[in-house]
């Protein structure tokens, strides 16, 4: 019976995505290429709205198990979708993100009266993670593919710890598969948009936080290590260049691979997926201290990032010069 329900949900998500595509074409919700883009053709934007559809369908079929989380996801997802259509101010987006993350923390039971002083810190960290995840959406397949690489270890560990409803994780996984059908390809039909990358970041962060609370083990943040190191060090690099962090760019390591080194985008995405899966598997299966492992992974990834940039960043500067783009 449960498999029939999953099949129905999958079909409904697929149909909803196709209906969205037809609507987006009529309303001209598209992503125009520019010199800072990693694509060259006009592509539908906002296909990641299927992640919202998925969680709504989960609630419809299995009940509203996590009401405050669902409310926060709906708010942050819909506002992000509006931002995909017409740009909102940074202040407006951040306000909505902080409110939504606070609702998620309330669902997790974190704002305890004895630890109230931790709430602002956790809020800032969680909003930072959501935005960093959004920054990493730049080549075909990477949002959907990498998110699957984060989700699979969570599904595996859920059988041991039972930290979240397994049906929730399965529906999220199906929504990622639906999205990948249209995005994990050489010529993507759609891009995730802010609604997609921010929504899936919010969803995965919620599941990851439940795992951390269930085990008391913060080292499970290593499930986001590949994205995290790339995002944080790229932000540091851009700050060093005195760039406006709100402006579009193509300075991430994966973007240099795809653009300057001409590595096929799906190969770059697959590399990030396999690397993250290997790192996560190491934490789960190797007989090592989790925190030592976490620190070692971060240091090794950071060194690899710096070496890669020192060797190849000159290609990006040459690209900027040839297109008369200010670095």
DSSP per position, 36-49: T-S--S-EE--TTH
Q: Is 98 helix (H, G, I), strand (E, B) or coil?
A: helix
pTM of the complete model: 0.93
User: Who has greater pLDDT, 41 or 280?
Assistant: 280
Q: Are 237 and 292 in contact (CB under 8 A)?
A: no
What was the pLDDT predicted at 80? 96
Q: Are 171 and 55 in contact (CB under 8 A)?
A: yes
Give residue 41's pLDDT band: very low, low, confident or very high (50, 70, 90).
Answer: low
Distance from C-alpha of 12 to C-alpha of 200, rounded to nearest angstrom: 18
User: What are 210-258's pLDDT values in tens digits?
Assistant: 999 999 999 999 999 999 999 999 999 888 888 887 777 888 999 999 9
Residue 84 is assigned to a structural domain of this protein: yes
Average of pLDDT values for 6-35? 89
Q: Which domain holds residue 60?
A: 2-322
Q: Ranked by mean pLDDT, which of 1-5, 296-300, 321-325 comes out on top?
A: 296-300
What was the pLDDT predicted at 100? 98
Residue 24 is assigned to a structural domain of this protein: yes
Residue 116 is assigned to a structural domain of this protein: yes
Residue 73 is assigned to a structural domain of this protein: yes
Total domains in the fold of the chain: 1
Q: pLDDT over 70 for what percent of the chain? A: 94
Q: Which residues contact 131 (CB under 8 A, 6 or more apart)?
A: 97, 198
Q: Are 183 and 189 in contact (CB under 8 A)?
A: yes
* Token duo for residue 61: 């079929």
What was the pLDDT predicted at 171? 98
Q: Are strands 30-31 and 43-44 parallel, antiparallel or unpaired?
A: antiparallel
What was the pLDDT predicted at 126? 95
Distance from C-alpha of 39 to C-alpha of 41, rounded to nearest angstrom: 6
What was the pLDDT predicted at 119? 84
Distance from C-alpha of 175 to C-alpha of 204, rounded to nearest angstrom: 13
Average of pLDDT values for 271-279? 98
What was the pLDDT predicted at 35? 47
Residue 6 is assigned to a structural domain of this protein: yes
Residue 327 is assigned to a structural domain of this protein: no
Q: Which residues contact 95 (CB under 8 A, 6 or more apart)?
A: none
Q: Which has the minimum average pLDDT: 30-44, 106-120, 157-171?
A: 30-44
Residue 120 is assigned to a structural domain of this protein: yes
* pLDDT above 60 for 38: no
On average, the pLDDT of the chain sits at 92
Average of pLDDT values for 134-144? 90
Residue 55 is assigned to a structural domain of this protein: yes
């Amino acid at each position: 019976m449960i498999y029939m329900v999953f099949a129905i949900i999958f079909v409904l998500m697929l149909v909803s995505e196709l209906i969205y595509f037809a609507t987006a074409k009529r309303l001209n919700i598209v992503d125009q290429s520019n010199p800072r883009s990693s694509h060259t053709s006009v592509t539908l934007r906002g296909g990641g709205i299927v992640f919202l559809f998925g969680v709504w369908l989960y609630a419809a079929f299995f009940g509203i198990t996590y009401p405050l989380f669902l409310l926060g996801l709906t708010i942050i997802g819909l506002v992000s979708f509006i931002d995909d259509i017409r740009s909102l101010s940074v202040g407006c987006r951040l306000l909505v993100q902080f409110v939504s993350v606070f609702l998620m923390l309330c669902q997790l039971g974190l704002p305890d009266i004895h630890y109230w002083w931790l709430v602002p810190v956790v809020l800032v960290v969680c909003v930072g993670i959501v935005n960093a995840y959004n920054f990493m959406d730049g080549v075909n397949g990477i949002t959907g593919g990498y998110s699957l690489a984060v989700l699979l270890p969570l599904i595996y560990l859920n059988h041991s710890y039972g930290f979240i409803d397994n049906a929730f994780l399965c529906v999220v996984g199906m929504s990622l598969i639906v999205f990948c059908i249209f995005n994990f390809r050489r010529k993507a039909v759609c891009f995730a948009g802010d609604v997609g990358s921010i929504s899936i970041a919010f969803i995965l962060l919620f599941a990851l936080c439940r795992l951390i609370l269930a085990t008391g083990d913060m080292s499970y943040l290593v499930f986001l290590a590949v994205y995290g190191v790339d995002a944080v060090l790229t932000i540091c690099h851009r700050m060093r260049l005195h760039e406006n962090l709100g402006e579009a760019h193509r300075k991430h390591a994966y973007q240099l691979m795809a653009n300057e080194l001409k590595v096929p985008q799906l190969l770059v995405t697959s590399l990030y997926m396999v690397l993250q899966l290997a790192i996560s598997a190491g934490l789960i299966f190797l007989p090592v201290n989790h925190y030592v492992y976490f620190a070692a992974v971060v240091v090794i990834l950071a060194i690899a990032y710096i070496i890669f940039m020192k060797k190849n960043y000159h290609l990006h500067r040459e690209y900027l010069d040839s297109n008369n783009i200010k670095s």
